[in-house]
Amino acid sequence: MQRFKALMVSKGDAGQTLAWQELSEADLMPGNVLVRVSHSTINYKDGLAITGKAPVVRRWPMIPGIDFAGMVASSTHPDFKAGDEVILNGWGVGETHFGGYAQMARVNGDWLVKKPAAFTAAETMAIGTAGYTAMLCVLALERHGVRPDSGPVLVTGAAGGVGSVAIALLAGLGYQVTASTGRTSETAYLKGLGAIEVIDRSELSGTPRPISKERWAAAVDSVGSTTLANVLSMTKYGGTVAACGLAQGMDLPTSVAPFILRAVTLAGVDSVMAPKVARLEAWSRLARDVDKAKLAAMTVTRPATDVVALAPEILAGKVRGRVALELG
């Protein structure tokens, strides 16, 4: 039986511990598809899981990693056979089911999506949950009637993973993108992805007013809390805000004013349990709309063993864009 390396997080009286261990297929959790993992990535949620800063992991011990890409080694699922290239995003993997920071994974085939031919496995993980979520946000804006001629679109947390991909996607579709960031030193990077304007996040950090001056037709927000409240107060009449993150907090200190006085829509975007039809649409659009040159510009490739060191950095906002991890 094949043996492989995996990052295992355990919890004891002394707290949380992490170690790369050698496992066998018999150690994996139940599932009907066995995948030989080649790549993974790190998202904000992975950073929380690895550092223990939030209760992301709900089963112990756990192999973290909410994403992976690889090749099917064996399958009893009707949709997959040995040799198929697949990707996985979410579904509780890395939280309640062994995740992507391992060279092998056994999962429910219903959780998998076949890798679009347009991408390599490394490119799908350069996109990862962050980029797939960004695409879900773009689709949400489109469903609510937001078009390039509607007006500027704001992206918060712009230098992060969701923000970077969202800017590149929106700019490529013809939208005028305003990027909000706490790292204004990244202005050249953000404009290289397609942002027309870069603003300091301090413009969205004050005490939110119920209604403020109208500034943008729509927004993609991965920050939440006070930032999201200010974004809503500044969204134009009939606009839509796609909210997908809570890096600043889970609270929302706002009022009903933007919704009933300006008919603003707050569209919640979930990537973890999104139905397969939504995932297939998102990955189909990513294959069509991602500018590979911009994807490469926002991505660095690191060995998976670097993920423990990267975790506190992504929580501190020190990781720009995307990281593709090689399991090797």
- Domains, the chain: 3-115+298-326 (3.90.180.10), 129-268 (3.40.50.720)
Residue 328's pLDDT is 80
Q: What are the pLDDT digits (tens) for 295-314?
A: 999 999 999 999 999 999 99
Cα separation of 218 and 241, whole Å?
A: 5
Residue with tokens 């890096």: 247
7 touches 28 (CB < 8 A): no
Can you name the residues that pair with 302 across neighbouring β-strands?
Answer: 325
Cα separation of 98 and 28, whole Å?
A: 7
Can you name the residues that pair with 185 across neighbouring β-strands?
Answer: none
Residue 105's pLDDT is 98
152 touches 215 (CB < 8 A): yes
Q: Is 242 helix (H, G, I), strand (E, B) or coil?
A: strand
pTM: predicted TM-score of the whole model, two decimal places: 0.96
Cα separation of 283 and 34, whole Å?
A: 22
Nearest one of 134, 187, 209, 33 to 126, comparing CA atoms? 134
Residue 1's pLDDT is 65
Within 13 Å, how many C-alpha atoms sit on residue 79's CB side?
11
First vs last C-alpha separation in the chain: 19
Cα separation of 323 and 303, whole Å?
A: 10
Cα separation of 16 and 151, whole Å?
A: 47
Q: Which two tokens stand for residue 112?
A: 């998998």
Amino acid, res. 57: V
In the chain, % helix, strand, coil (3-state, to 5) comes to: 35, 30, 35
313 touches 42 (CB < 8 A): no
Residues of the chain with pLDDT under 70: 1
Q: Which two tokens stand for residue 96?
A: 């309640």
Q: What are the pLDDT digits (tens) for 157-190?
A: 999 999 999 999 999 999 999 999 999 999 999 9
Give start and end residues of each alpha helix (H) in the chain. 44-51, 121-143, 161-172, 187-193, 225-233, 257-261, 276-289, 292-297, 307-315
Using CB atoms within 10 A of its CB, is residue 121 exposed (0-12), middle (13-18) or buried (19+)? Answer: buried
Give start and end residues of each alpha helix (H) in 105-194. 121-143, 161-172, 187-193
DSSP 313-328: HHHTT---SEEEEE--
